[in-house]
Structure 1
Amino acid sequence: MNVPNMLTSSRFVLIPLFLVLYLNDKPIAALCTLLVAGITDFLDGFIARRSGQVTVTGSMLDPLADKLMMLSVILALLIKSALPLLAFIVMAFRETVMIIASAIYHFRGLKTVPANLLGKATTVIYYVAITLLFLDQPGGVTVLWIGIALSFVASVIYFMKFKSLNRAS
């Protein structure tokens, strides 16, 4: 268990904390918890790459923590009627497919592709949309739909790179 993996693991602990805060009408505290999770996401990857501590465990747990956190956020937003059902369904479908596909690839011993720049930009857009939704500001749903569209483009690019990488091996 290295520092990056401990940071990743902390995100699993932050998920129920986020849910308790948000569902008990403490949106600012919940948003702060989410932002802490986002910071740990940045830091774990940065530290792992900088210090040569990239591990198979971390490579699997990091995206899982991200996707479970995002599923928790959109579920909470749906419960509080801050998110349209269709946006929830589309996002939940994509996140679930990505979790399942990653697990299948991993257990089949296939090489995976790191997140691409568009995927990282999508995450930033999601955080902007979620912040707007949490603060009950206009434009949150529109920004979220932009993020959803970009997430599918990023997924297609990721899948094409994945196929190419594993075909070449």
Structure 2
Amino acid sequence: MNVPNLLTISRFLLIPVFLALYLDGHPVWALLVVFAAGITDMLDGYIARRSGLVTQIGIMLDPLADKLMMLAVVGALVADGRIPWAAAGVMAFREIGMIATGAFFHFRGKLTVPANSYGKLTTVIYYLAIVLLMLDQPGGVFVLWGAVALSFLTSFVYIASFRRLNGETKAL
């Protein structure tokens, strides 16, 4: 187990910490946990690439940790009435679909597509929406819907990248 993969695993461990803090009425502390997860996300990728420690398990676990944290945040915000169910449903559909598809193809021996700039931009916009929503600032739901739309466009980029990476010529 290398350092980048340990950082990724730490993000899985931060999910229940976020939920406990947020659901116990400490949104600022919970937001700091989300930021800590974001920092470990940046660090694990940077260290892995810079040190030649990129692994297939890391490529698979990294986005899974991100998606599960995002689902936890969305679930908490829905439970708190800060975002509409429709937005949460669309986000959950996309995130669960990406998780299931990634796992399905990973276990079939296909290469997993690493994060790209579109995915990173989507994450930044999601984080902006989360900050606005958790701190009761205006525009949070609007920014969230923008991130949702971008996430679906990003999915198409990932599908095309997956097909190129794995030499696929037929429809998935």
37-46 or 103-112: bigger deviation: 103-112
Asked if 1:84 corresponds to 2:75, the answer is: no
| Contact 2:19 2:30 (8 Å CA) reproduced | yes
Gaps of 5+ in 2: none
| Contact 1:116 1:154 (8 Å CA) reproduced | no
Runs (4+) of structure 1 exceeding 4 A deviation are none
What's the CA shift for 1:45?
A: 0.5
Q: Which residue of 2 aligns with 1:29?
A: 29
Asked if 1:40 corresponds to 2:48, the answer is: no
Q: Which residue of 2 aligns with 1:95?
A: 95
Asked if 1:3 corresponds to 2:3, the answer is: yes
Distance in 2 (alpha carbons) for counterparts of 1:48 and 1:27: 31
Q: Which residue of 1 aligns with 2:145?
A: 145
Q: Which residue of 2 aligns with 1:123?
A: 123
Task: Report the aligned-residue RMSD.
Answer: 1.2
The residue type paired with residue 112 of structure 2 is T
| Contact 1:27 1:134 (8 Å CA) reproduced | yes
What's the CA shift for 1:168?
A: 5.9
Gaps of 5+ in 1: none
For normalisation by structure 2, the TM-score amounts to 0.95
Distance in 1 (alpha carbons) for counterparts of 2:113 and 2:157: 10
| Contact 2:56 2:112 (8 Å CA) reproduced | no
Distance in 2 (alpha carbons) for counterparts of 1:4 and 1:116: 17
